[in-house]
A = this chain, B = another copy of it.
């Protein structure tokens, strides 16, 4: 009576992976005297840097679901630890852009590097059709999870 659908095994596996990745990040946080939110912030900052965009304090807080007070405290914390720098925007001097320090990047790489390397190694073992399946499944799940956040009640017109 428990699992009539064999697909549920993979659903549970994906959930287990998400949990394990969260635990992996939490370990990085604890080992470096940080909080989970701090790690999420650093990742968001590095993602923005990779995309070539500047990250302001406000956008960072928004991405993490923090209000302005929490965001200030977060950036204070990261700055005190030397992981980021506050830089006043020259054009709009109300804005504070948050820049990641190089040492934080190195520190992060030393923790996440091995895991990323293993994942890349695994992916090299698959052919194009298998990679397309992995990519398609992950993309679909990401969209399904994100869709719920947008308009959970009413449909949008075409």
Which A residues have a C-beta under 8 Å from some C-beta of B? 2, 5, 7-11, 13-18, 20-24, 26-27, 43, 50, 65, 114-116, 118-120, 122-124, 126, 129-131, 133-142, 144-146, 148-149
- In the complex where A124-B7, A130-B133, A131-B10 touch, is A20 in contact with B119 (Cβ < 8 A)? no
CA distance A16 to B135 in the complex (A): 12
Instruction: Tell me what chain A mostly uses at the interface: helix, strand, loop, or mixed.
Output: helix
- Out of B120, B133, B145, name the residue touching A21 (CB < 8 Å): B145
CA distance A11 to B129 in the complex (A): 17
Least CB distance, A91 to chain B, in whole angstroms: 25
- In the complex where A122-B136, A122-B141, A142-B20 touch, is A115 in contact with B14 (Cβ < 8 A)? no
